[in-house]
A = this chain, B = another copy of it.
């Protein structure tokens, strides 16, 4: 398996090369220390896996990865990082990286590379711990606990969809005043002030 290592700390890059080439089955085709290197070397060598630091001077690993994937959508990029930063994790996932592992887990990097080469995606232990938080478990909101009736729930959803009282009334075959009353009741029960706060509440607390 051929890989390319990109890290702006040349010592780290060299250490990785030494470790990985001695674990068998891995050949380091080239090494670089910047995002530009990454793009250039990938196009040149087409390695099985690209092992890249996510945080570098100048062009970040993410931008470089995005560019590489634009040119070669099947490229396999494995990011290396020193800490599990939520922002980076999400962005890495979004651009289509094949993994995100911590430099601390250096014993596992070889195994991760093999798995990535086989088409799997790999995440370091501590990185994984962050994922469930980012991926909302979608804990269903309990309307009953707040004393919200079925009809009130319906109205709340329409308000949260951006409809006016008149539109809601038309949709539910109710009087416009009735809708106003329902909204008043909702505002009271949820301790809010106006329909906009109702919508905000819906998106932050209910649909979270």
Contact = CB atoms under 8 A, between A and B. Distances in A.
A196 B199 contact: yes
Interface string A116-141: 01111111110110011011011100
7 contacts: A94-B132, A96-B132, A111-B118, A115-B122, A120-B125, A196-B198, A199-B199
Contact of A135 (B120, B135, B195, B197): B135
Q: What is the predominant secondary structure among interface residues of chain A facing chain B?
A: helix
A161 interface: yes
Given A131-B93, A199-B199, A107 B118 contact: yes
Contact of A119 (B125, B164, B193, B197): B125
B200 A160 contact: yes
A57 interface: no
Contacts of A204: 203
